[in-house]
Amino acid sequence: MNMTPDQTVFWSHGFVTINLTLVTTWGIMLFMVIGAKLITRNLRSNNKISRWQCMLEMIVTGINEQINEVGLAKPELYIGFIGTLFLFVVMCNFWIILPWYVPPTGSLSTTTALALCVFLSVPYFGIQKSGIGGYLKTYIQPTFIMLPFNIISELSRTLALAVRLFGNIMSGVMIIGILLSITPLFIPIVMKALGLLTGMVQAYIFSILATVYIAAAVQESVKKDKKIKQQNQTTN
Amino acid sequence: MQINWFTVIAQILNFLVLVWLMKRYLYKPILDMIDAREKKIAGQLADAKATKSEAKAEQDEFNKKNRVFDQQKNALMDKAIAEVGVQSQKLLAEAKNNARALQDKLEKAAKDQQADVNHQREKETEKEVFAITKKVLADLADVDFEAQSVHTFIKRINGIKEAEKATFIKALHSASGPILVQSAFDLPEKQQAEIKSAVTKILGAQPSFEFKTAPGLIGGIELTTKGYTLGWSITAYVNSFEKSIGEAGKQIPVTGKKHHAIK
């Protein structure tokens, strides 16, 4: 029994390996892009819109509201990353309702890749907001003694992100596999439904944690900027 | 359970490509469309607000015009009512005047009718009195009424006073024609001669006479010259009788209809 889809290799040449994880990811990407293209092909701004458009609008505005509630004032700047993160994990986990489907999120390589994306996005958005100096100074807040702890925090939360998603999804797949061999009727269906719920919750948790990390970096920078401005005003 | 680093790198690239594609094909069109719709709705709301304010202004204008119209209508109604009142008073006064004139006319007609009736009755009474007197005198005293009338007339001529006599003479002298003697009956030659003799005796001269029969002079004789008349008939008696009858007749209405005075 393969533990992860990485172990199902279709083609390999040295370092380059085309496995089930990549093939499934490409399929999901294709599905998402074609679906988005088809639905947004006939967008209308009047009051009579299609059901698909309505669904997409609800999803996009829902993600926007979530980002805004976490504390990012301009969600349209972050929805590309955070929204795609959420929708990709949702899509990966949703298709577990199909038999023989193995989600890419059940691969530690995929979750690590996503966690690394989040790890890199935090300094990206922080630097974009207040510059590289302003962002790096957040690591020595409130004092420079906190520098190693902040670095450890960054690394550990990235690791936690990767392992949490991988563990939940992989364990779900494993449980379903085991139950299929023990009780092939009914129980696997219930477990699949439970796995679907877990997958959705994990998608939400993963994306909301990414949003929180980004918001923390951005707000630290913003607070610092405000403080510097206030100090300049008082000195002037 | 190990990490395939090629897969990690490939998945990072996959994810970044997916982010770019989703931004291009999903989020941007959807967000742009939502913004467009929000602007459209904002525009519609602004239009609705402008239309509402315009409608409010028009409503205020309408209410103002309505109030002015009501005031003008009330003023016109008051004026019309006042004019109608004046007109009705005028028409009522005119109707009253017409009614009064008609009433006066009716009263005058009634009086004329009464006068005609009285005159007719007077004539008939004279005729009756004349006939009765004539018969009574003939039956009781064997006296001719005509002769007695002439006799009484001559006595009257003889009995006129000096002042009246002067007037008579003056009138006679100024007259160009003869003295007209009218009687209800044909005077015989003898009685004509007696009258001529009595007049001549008073005047002291011989005037010319003209004798005529006038049935209107019931039982009487009348002598007329220019502006002067001397006569006798039973008309005076009848008039006295008529007067007493007339006073009694005033107690009785002329017609059965009762005229109400119009106020």
Of B11-20, B116-125, B235-244, highest mean pLDDT: B11-20
Return the SS3 of B229.
strand
Mean of the per-residue pLDDT values of chain B: 84
Task: Inspect the interface and report whether the beta carbons of B12 and A116 lie closer than 8 Å.
Answer: yes
Closest to A32 in 3D by CA, of B8, B32, B34, B26 = B26
Task: Inspect the interface and report whether the beta carbons of A80 and B8 lie closer than 8 Å.
Answer: no
Return the SS3 of B1.
coil
Closest to B200 in 3D by CA, of B238, B157, B138, B241 = B157
Best interface-test mutation with A: which of B2, B27, B28, B37 has the largest number of A CBs within 10 A? Answer: B27
Of A145-159, A161-175, B39-53, B205-219, highest mean pLDDT: B39-53
- Range with the poorest average pLDDT among A81-90, A140-149, B244-253: B244-253
Which of A15, A80, A85 is nearest residue B6 as measured by Cβ atoms?
A: A15
**How confident is residue B198, by pLDDT bands cut at 50, 70 and 90?**
confident
Tokens found for residue B247? 């006073």
Burial classification of residue A99, based on how many CB atoms lie within 10 Å of its CB (0-12 exposed, 13-18 middle, 19 or more buried): exposed
Task: Inspect the interface and report whether the beta carbons of B22 and A40 lie closer than 8 Å.
Answer: no
User: Residues with Cβ < 8 Å from A37, sequence gap 6 or more?
Assistant: B25
| Tokens 């009064």 -> residue | B100
Return the SS3 of B104.
helix
The interface predicted TM-score of the complex, written ipTM, equals 0.87
Please compute the mean of the pLDDT values over residues B159-188 and round it to a whole number. Answer: 82
Residues of A in contact with B36 (CB under 8 A): 45
Q: Are B16 and A121 in contact (CB under 8 A)?
A: no
Q: Please tell me the distance from the alpha carbon of residue B74 to that of residue A62, in angstroms, as a whole number.
A: 64
Return the SS3 of A234.
helix
Q: Are B220 and B149 in contact (CB under 8 A)?
A: yes
Which of A43, A80, A104 is nearest residue B22 as measured by Cβ atoms?
A: A80
Residues of A in contact with B1 (CB under 8 A): 3-4, 108
Minimum CA–CA partner of B33 in chain A: A45
| Tokens 């009788």 -> residue | B241
Considering just the CA atoms, what is the radius of gyration of chain A in Å?
A: 21
Which of B1, B25, B30 is nearest residue A60 as measured by Cβ atoms?
A: B30
Closest to B210 in 3D by CA, of B176, B236, B233, B234 = B176
- Show the CA angle centred on residue B195, arms to residues B189 and B201, nearest 5°: 130
**How confident is residue A20, by pLDDT bands cut at 50, 70 and 90?**
very high
**How confident is residue A49, by pLDDT bands cut at 50, 70 and 90?**
confident
Residues of A in contact with B12 (CB under 8 A): 113, 116-117
pLDDT in tens, A152-193: 988 888 888 888 888 888 887 788 778 778 877 777 788 888
Residues of B in contact with A82 (CB under 8 A): none
Which of B30, B36, B37 is nearest residue A40 as measured by Cβ atoms?
A: B30
Q: Are A21 and A110 in contact (CB under 8 A)?
A: yes
pLDDT in tens, B83-126: 999 999 999 999 999 999 999 999 999 999 999 998 888 778 77
Residues in chain B: 263
CB pairs under 8 A between A and B: 115
Q: Quickly count: other Cβ atoms within 10 Å of residue B60's Cβ.
A: 10
**How confident is residue B23, by pLDDT bands cut at 50, 70 and 90?**
very high
Residue ranges of the alpha helices (H) in B142-177? 145-158, 162-174
Residue A204 has pLDDT above 70, yes or no: yes
Residue extents of the structural domains in chain A: 5-235
The contact set of B with A (CB < 8 A) is 1-12, 14-23, 25-27, 29-31, 33-34, 36-37, 40
Which of B17, B26, B33 is nearest residue A36 as measured by Cβ atoms?
A: B26
Please tell me the distance in Å from B29's CA to the nearest CA on chain A.
7
Tokens found for residue A30? 């294709």
Return the SS3 of B143.
coil
Best interface-test mutation with A: which of B2, B30, B38 has the largest number of A CBs within 10 A? Answer: B30
Residues of B in contact with A81 (CB under 8 A): 19
pLDDT in tens, A103-149: 998 888 999 999 999 999 988 998 888 788 888 888 887 888 888 89
User: Residues with Cβ < 8 Å from A206, sequence gap 6 or more?
Assistant: A85, A86, A89, A114, A161, A164, A165
Residues of B in contact with A57 (CB under 8 A): 30, 33-34
Q: What is the DSSP string of A37-98?
A: HHHGGG---SS---HHHHHHHHHHHHHHHHHHHHT-S-GGGTHHHHHHHHHHHHHHHHGGGS
